[in-house]
Structure 1
Amino acid sequence: MGVEVKPVSTLSERASYDVADFAVPTGREEEWRFTPLRRLRGLHDGSAKADGKIVLEVDAAPEVTVETVDREDPRVGSGYVPTDRISAQAYSAFTTATVITVPREAVASAPTIVRLRGEDAGHAAYGHTTVIVEPFGKATIVLDHSGSATYADNVEFVVGEQAQLTVVSVQEWADDAVHVSHQHASLAKDAKFTGFNITLGGDLVRVRPSVSYRGPGGDAELNGVYFVDAGQHLEHRLLADHSVRNCRSRVDYRGALQGEDAHAVWIGDVVIRAEAEGTDTYELNRNLVLTDGTRVDSVPNLEILTGEVAGAGHASASGRLDEEHLFYLQARGIPADEAKRMVVRGYLNQIVQRIEIDELRERVEAKIDAELAL
């Protein structure tokens, strides 16, 4: 398939299934300037051979079907075209894809859990997952990543008319893991998508959630929590591409950093095209810096090509803990370390509490507590 050049926006100029249509990143490009390319283990330049393995297990709700298919299946790639070299490399290198389908008008009675476990970070693996929610369907999908891996994948969510999909992606990799992922939601008329990215592990994790609209009334909420430890690079690059009238997007990502050379990157791109009148969008990123020696890069971008919008805004803030909050707690007899943990928990739990799966929410809370105990 050939290359498509989008003249309207500079934020995502190129889309192609062909790796050759993307130059090897040098680190000088806007989309790669924060990513330490030397730590990608060749995922970006073609030197990472597809000789690794990710163990994939799916525990599906009874109403949901799960299939393993080859790349010739017409559903694979139907909702997303790669927009960078690693994404195109992952698309060209996977051997089988997982297709999850929620039938028309079906309401899943339980979450569908997709477990992806790496066993060897010394060998690269590539993957592809397609989730299709047919019109009026409703489901929750959990993508649970763990183990040691060098892994690149694409995940596409095709959400039908008046369908609802909630996705919780947990990156709880081992300390040596590298994961580069593009997660794209394509929303039909009056469709609702709620996404969570919970990134708590790995050496280098770069996740690119994006959303596009195929009909008016689409509604997307993109939420995220990340905790960055010493030496970790955790990067989230979001894009809400509004090309249809009367659609909505909300982005709320919150992070905490501690330890020498902990590096968090958050890029929030919103495009409102000329035909997308009535768009309502807002994006927010906040970071708590808990120790010296950390680095935060937080960049919100709005590109608005019509004056007829319902609302468009963004906010970004990075800083230390509020001394007044700590003083208030310590004045009531709470030790300084515990007061610090309470403030951070409360700050991150504003996102975590939105996860409606009790067991998963409690697991994330326990992981955050373990990070704070360090």
Structure 2
Amino acid sequence: MSATNPTTAASAPAPHSHGAGELPISRIDVRGSFDVTAFPVPSGREEEWRFTPLRRLRGLHQDAAEGQEVSSDVTVEVTAADGVVAETVARTDSRLGTSFLPTDRISARAYASFTEATVLTVPKETEVAEPVTVKVTGHGPERPENRSFGHTLINVERHASATVVLDYSGSAVYADNVEVVLGDGARLTLISLQDWDRGAAHVSHQYDRIGRDATLRSFSVTLGGDLVRVSPSVRYDGPGGDAELRGLYYTGAGQHHEHRSLIDHNVSRTRSRADYKGALSGADAHAVWIGDVIIGEGTEGTDSYEHNHNLVLTDGTRVDSVPNLEIFTGEVEGAGHASASGRLDDVHLFYLQSRGIPADEARRLVIRGFFAEFINRIELPQLRQRISDEVEEKLAEHE
């Protein structure tokens, strides 16, 4: 836990660089901008980039060369349920970019570079029974240097409710921003599935604005890709807002999976939970979780907790798990964090084997149980089965 004097917050957009021995940057210092040039090209020494292998971003973080700015390697298909208005709009649509500011160079570049956006609107007091699916498919870059960019706006109006699935697959070098705006009393279940082919690189920012007494249940599942970096952030527009960010990742040989959550309790009487679970197996598998929670000055009644748990299944893997909690008030209902990374529990394995279950099957059962709570919370049977099947496939790769 750290406390920082908010009066010292910087006014420039994220120019920070920290060397050895310096304290990590306070997230309250970070300022956003739509101007790509406001953010220097990362060197890898910055706190916010030090875990990310920049060369594997394949230029998403750099200046765009001529002919690289727009690519048609990615298509977006929307399956909209009754009651949802789904639109494909030009980047000049006045609704875009009104609820957030990009907080790093890739996010700003993605906003400056997309040509069309997907806008989903759930009208006020509408309850949508069937899920809405936004399928983003990469068709393999025509040239290795191509990059693709996207933008999605999800607007759930006052006292409406819906479930939205963002389904990423195929192969691409892709960056996108997802704006989520919940009106007062709205409810949204958002499921983001990063199921890319092994050669893909994907950097996604999800900006969530939660209205008074609104509820967000967010699930992020990362299984594929060469490099995937997902950064959800939450801000509240009124008291009573409730956000749950849950993540599941299975990082295999050579994969880099990075999740960076930020929850800003900027108003009183808000609640949040962040719970990320991961497993790693195979040489050079690297998983990163950074969890930032800010409880703002003058707020009261905040209830927040964040947790990360990793299972290390083979040698040669790396886990970086960093929970951060910044509190600027003494009027807190609850705040805490926890992080644990380690191998399978020998006691659990011994218990199962002592009852005649072979070692390989006992191992599978423990890992299934580790992920089961997360998967069972997803109220879409077909998606639950798909995630379970893919976890089983990854388990089989390293038996």
Same fold (TM over 0.5): yes
2:375 pairs with 1:355: no
Tell me which residue corresponds to 2:119.
99
Aligned partner of 1:39 in structure 2 is: 56
Q: Does 1:22 align with 2:42?
A: no
| 1:250-289 alignment runs, 5 A limit | 250-289=273-312
How far apart, in 1, do the equivalents of 2:117 and 2:101 lie?
15
1:4 to partner: Cα distance: 6.6
Who is 1:63 aligned against? Answer: 83
CA–CA distance in 1 between the matches of 2:77 and 2:299? 40
CA distance in structure 1 between the aligned counterparts of 2:172 and 2:298, rounded to whole angstroms:
42
Listed one character per residue, the Cα deviations across residues 113-147 of structure 1 (whole Å, up to 9, x for unaligned) are: 11000011432100000000000000000000000
Does residue 238 (structure 1) correspond to residue 261 (structure 2)? The answer is: yes
Equivalent residue, structure 2, for 1:49? 69
Report the RMSD for the aligned CA atoms in angstroms.
1.2
Give the 5 Å matches for 1:169-180: 169-180=192-203
Task: Return the offset for 1:60.
Answer: 0.4
SS at match of 2:44: coil
Q: What does the per-residue CA deviation read over 1:6-38, in whole Å, with 9 as the maximum and x for residues that have no partner?
A: 9xx821512011101101000000000000001
For residues 49 and 302 of structure 1, what CA distance do their matches in structure 2 show? 37
* Aligned-partner residue type, residue 237 of structure 2: R
Match of 1:167 in 2: 190
Q: Which residue of 2 aligns with 1:146?
A: 169
How many Å apart are 1:5 and its aligned residue?
Answer: 5.5
Letter in 1 for 2:170: G
Classify 1:336/1:292 alpha carbon distance in 2 versus 1 (closer, same or farther; 3 Å): same
State the 1:79 CA deviation: 1.7
Q: Distance in 2 between matches of 1:167 and 1:106?
A: 17
Choose from 356, 360, 366 the match for 1:333: 356
Q: 1:292 aligns to what?
A: 315
2:128, 2:235 → 1: CA distance? 24
| Counterpart secondary structure, 1:353 | helix
| Counterpart secondary structure, 2:175 | strand
Distance 1:102 1:52 in 2: 28
Task: Tell me, yes or no, if the aligned pair for 1:4 and 1:16 is still in contact at 8 Å.
Answer: no
What is the SS of the residue equivalent to 2:96? coil
Report which stretch shifted further, 317-326 or 122-131.
122-131
What secondary structure does 2:158 align onto?
coil
Distance 2:299 2:74 in 1: 40
Q: Structure 2: how far apart are the matches of 1:364 and 1:46? A: 36
Partner of 2:130: 110
Q: Which has the higher strand share?
A: 1
SS at match of 2:147: strand
SS in 2 for 1:175: coil
Among all aligned residue pairs of Structure 1 and Structure 2, give the percentage whose two residues are the same amino acid. Answer: 58
Does 1:10 pair with 2:22?
A: no
Describe the SS at the equivalent of 2:332. coil
Large movers: runs of 4+ above 6 Å: none
| Structure 2 residue 80 is matched with structure 1 residue 80 | no
5+ residue gaps in structure 1?
none
Higher mean displacement: 170-179 or 267-276: 267-276
Q: Does 1:203 align with 2:226?
A: yes
Q: Give TM-score scaled by structure 1 length.
A: 0.97
User: Which whole-Å CA distance do the structure 1 matches of 2:38 and 2:198 have between them?
Assistant: 33
Secondary structure class of the residue paired with 1:181: strand
Q: Which amino acid aligns with 1:217?
A: G
Structure 2: gaps (5+ residues): 1-10, 15-24
In structure 2, what is the Cα distance between the partners aligned to 1:254 and 1:46? 34
| Matched residue SS, 2:27 | coil
